[in-house]
């Protein structure tokens, strides 16, 4: 049985701790203090670190963890020297009895990858800052076209795939989604649910591919009604990548 626990970091980051009866792995430890405390208190055996991209809020805790534990660090080909096992698109790794496939998803950063497992019919995805609940990451190093293509790969994963992303941005993302589709009752209902969860300090993750297809504007750029809205607002051609670029730039300044 797999247990996946969010560890809060900084103001809105999530570090993901995955545990089975074979031990634990951690995804994107931007800091280490809370993680090391949880490992000690629960007598957990950390076996590996997985990194999705090079940003400090996803890698800043690696060295302190390694100072206490001699374990492998998996990640993309980037400038993080502590990554000792470099992985690339479609390669596979097996940890804790879980087989992960590596999916390259550039856009937010050029080195960005995701870890996907079919997990015996209960698929899981750790996607860092590419796909968020109700939104997607900013385009810092790549292009809007790259980000669109990366999200197109993810949106075709099984509908029941559970998505574990790197930040608690759901409330602000859905507020933006409502401005694009103000009559979408699924977005309105989800937004109201998220407000209540956050009032109680409860994470809004994981989400699913199915839920994102229903409520995430960056997964919905193929829909005629959204293309019509964005084309009129920004005088943009009704092509998916143009619509995507216009929405992402609008969100940057929302």
Residue 238 and residue 228: Cα distance in Å, rounded? 7
pLDDT tens string 220-240: 999 999 999 999 999 999 999
Structural element, H or E, at residue 179: helix 170-180
pLDDT at 151: 98
pLDDT at 121: 96
Contact predicate 105/130, CB 8 Å: yes
Q: Would you tell me how many other CB atoms lie within 10 Å of the CB of residue 127? A: 28
Supply the Cα-derived Rg of the chain in whole angstroms: 18
This prediction has a pTM of 0.97
Phi, psi at residue 60, to the nearest 5°? -65, -20
Residue 82 and residue 163: Cα distance in Å, rounded? 26
| Residue corresponding to tokens 């980051």 | 13
pLDDT at 12: 97
Residue 34 and residue 5: Cα distance in Å, rounded? 12
Low-confidence ranges of the chain (pLDDT < 50): none
Per DSSP, the three-state class of 159 is coil
The Cα diameter of the chain in Å comes to: 58
Q: E strands of the chain, at which residues?
A: 3-9, 13-20, 23-27, 46-50, 72-75, 85-86, 92-95, 98-104, 113-117, 124-128, 131-132, 135-136, 162-165, 207-208
pLDDT at 195: 98
User: Residues of 93-122 as b/e, b for ≥16 C-beta within 10 angstroms?
Assistant: bebbebebbbbbbbbbbbbbbbbbbeeeee
Q: Which tokens hold the place of 116?
A: 């996907």
pLDDT at 87: 98
pLDDT tens string 197-225: 999 999 999 999 999 999 999 999 999 99
pLDDT at 80: 97
Contact predicate 105/150, CB 8 Å: yes
Per DSSP, the three-state class of 225 is helix
Per DSSP, the three-state class of 114 is strand
Do you know the residue count of the chain? Answer: 254
**Which residue ranges form the domains of the chain, and what is each CATH number?**
3-169+202-212 (3.60.15.10)
């Amino acid at each position: 049985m797999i247990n996946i626990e969010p560890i809060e970091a900084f103001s809105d980051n999530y570090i993901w701790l995955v545990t089975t009866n074979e031990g634990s792995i951690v995804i994107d430890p931007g800091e280490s203090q809370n993680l090391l405390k949880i490992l000690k208190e629960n007598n957990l055996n950390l076996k590996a670190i997985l990194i999705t991209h090079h940003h400090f809020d996803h890698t800043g805790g690696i060295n302190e963890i390694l100072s206490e534990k001699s374990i492998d660090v998996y990640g993309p080909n980037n400038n993080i020297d502590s990554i000792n096992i470099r992985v690339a698109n479609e390669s596979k790794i097996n940890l804790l009895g879980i087989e992960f496939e590596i999916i390259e998803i550039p856009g937010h950063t050029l080195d960005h990858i995701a870890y996907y497992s079919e997990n015996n019919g209960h698929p899981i995805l750790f996607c860092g800052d590419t796909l968020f609940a109700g939104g997607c990451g900013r385009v810092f190093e790549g292009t809007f076209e790259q980000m669109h293509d990366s999200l197109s790969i993810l949106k075709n994963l099984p509908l029941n795939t559970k998505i574990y992303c790197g930040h608690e941005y759901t409330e602000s993302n859905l507020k933006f989604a409502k401005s694009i589709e103000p009559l979408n009752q699924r977005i309105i209902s989800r937004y109201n649910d998220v407000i209540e969860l956050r009032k109680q300090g409860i994470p809004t993750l994981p989400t699913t591919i199915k839920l994102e297809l229903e409520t995430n504007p960056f997964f919905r750029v193929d829909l005629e009604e959204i293309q019509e809205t964005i084309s009129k607002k920004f005088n943009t051609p009704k092509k998916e990548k143009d619509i995507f670029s216009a929405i992402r730039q609008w969100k940057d300044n929302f």
